[in-house]
Homo-oligomer: A and B are copies of this chain.
Amino acid sequence: MSSTALTPEIQDAVEAVRADVARLHGELVRYGLVVWTGGNVSGRVPGADLFVIKPSGVSYDDLAPENMILCDLDGNVIPGTPGSERSPSSDTAAHAYVYRNMPDVGGVVHTHSTYAVAWAARGEEIPCVITGMADEFGGPIPIGPFAVIGDDSIGRGIVETLRGHRSRAVLMQNHGPFTIGVSAKDAVKAAVMCEDAARSVHIAREAGPLIPIPQDRIDALYNRYQNVYGQNSDARR
């Protein structure tokens, strides 16, 4: 596919996603989820088999919309589009795998945020002992398999862990969190809340036993939050 194949409507959608994805990287910095050039956000282009992702190894100070990179769902850069002279994030194949296999996913985020990485290094899921986690994730945040870059194993690990799971976050073992959402913004929110949960529960457990929340209370909190919270669900778009 070349850039000339894009209709004006798709071109407009691409521009909107470029702006969103560029801006949302600033939220990773604001919440301390990334250092140096690590971490990446991508967003699906509505109405097209395309997504937009961060370039590889570029400073967070240089992330303008026109530097973001447009890819097809196999992770190939669309030639002739802005940013296409650069390499996309080295995690592009994992993002692409998720978009190919989870059609409802509109955004994917990956970070090495400190506390989430700590749970991942022990291969231990985060138990759901605080109501904020029940609201946001509906239960524990699960661990995904150990997998390294080079084939589809990271993407497959994400999809196999999160498909059918309430959680929008998975901690890939020895690696770190990947989060998904209905939009790039929603996936960034999941990354922020995942680190917040990882930190709070870690610190809680350092000092003694945790009180579990009964399953029916977790279910009630999750159902209310997904259906009622925010301004008519605008908050997730």
Determine whether A189 belongs to the interface, using a CB cutoff of 8 Å to chain B: yes
Q: Which residues of B contact A209 (CB under 8 A)?
A: 122
Interface centre among A132, A149, A150, A207 (most CB of B within 10 A): A207
Question: Measured between alpha carbons, how far is A228 from B90 in the docked complex, in Å?
Answer: 9
A residues 183-237 near B (Cβ < 8 Å) are 189, 192-193, 196, 199-211, 213, 217, 220-221, 224, 228-231, 234-235
Determine whether A18 belongs to the interface, using a CB cutoff of 8 Å to chain B: no
Q: How many residues of A contact B (CB 8 A)?
A: 63
Instruction: List the interface of chain A (C-beta within 8 A of B).
Output: 31, 35-38, 55-58, 86-87, 90, 112, 114-115, 117-124, 129-132, 146, 148-150, 173-176, 189, 192-193, 196, 199-211, 213, 217, 220-221, 224, 228-231, 234-235
